[in-house]
Structure 1
């Protein structure tokens, strides 16, 4: 049942983003930044954590979840290190995910024939 909930919630998030892209003139990069910021704000308001407990990977994998991870990392680092934690907390919390995305993207470029759009 966890897989079904994750699939439905993740699909609803993706559908909402697709509707936002289709109905507005926002560029994809701006929508991605908006999702990260919304995830951070929802984490700050303590709304996102109960949502993640309910939806599982359907809520933690999309960019909303990345914003929440950044927020949690900054919060923990500020509590532990003080003001300097603002600058290092998000990097420490998200380093594994960012590294994995870069490494697997690089490996995929060997398997497939990447081309720039003209």
Structure 2
């Protein structure tokens, strides 16, 4: 049952992102920012935690999950002290950030961009 919920919630989040791209005519970068902010706002109101409990990876893997992980860590560490907030931001989201950088470097090394000469 948890796989079904992960598929349905993750699919719904991706559907919303696709609607933003097609109907709202947002660029991919604008859609990324909007989806991350939605995750941030939902976690700020403690609503995204319910999605994570229900859907697991279906809620944490899409772009909204990245915003959630940034803010959730900051809120947890912020409760311990004001200067701990920056530690919390990178505690949960560090894996996502590191792998994003590594895969971007690998893609840049192995693939040639379109329109390049040489």
Q: TM-score, normalised by structure 2?
A: 0.83
Task: Give me the whole-angstrom Cα distance separating, in 2, the residues matched to 1:46 and 1:61.
Answer: 18
User: Is the aligned partner of 1:65 residue 2:65?
Assistant: yes
Number of positions where the alignment pairs a residue of Structure 1 with one of Structure 2:
116
Give ranges in structure 2 of 5+ residues lacking alignment.
none
- Residue in 2 aligned with 1:87? 86
- Residue in 1 aligned with 2:112? 114
Give ranges in structure 1 of 5+ residues lacking alignment.
none
Residue aligned with 2:41, SS: helix
Deviation at 1:108, TM superposition (A): 4.4
Equivalence map 1:8-27=2 (5 Å): 8-27=8-27
Q: Cα distance 1:51–1:117, how it changes in 2: closer, same or farther (>3 A)?
A: farther
Task: Give me the whole-angstrom Cα distance separating, in 2, the residues matched to 1:114 and 1:70.
Answer: 32
- Residue in 2 aligned with 1:36? 36
Q: TM-score, normalised by structure 1?
A: 0.83
- Residue in 2 aligned with 1:99? 98
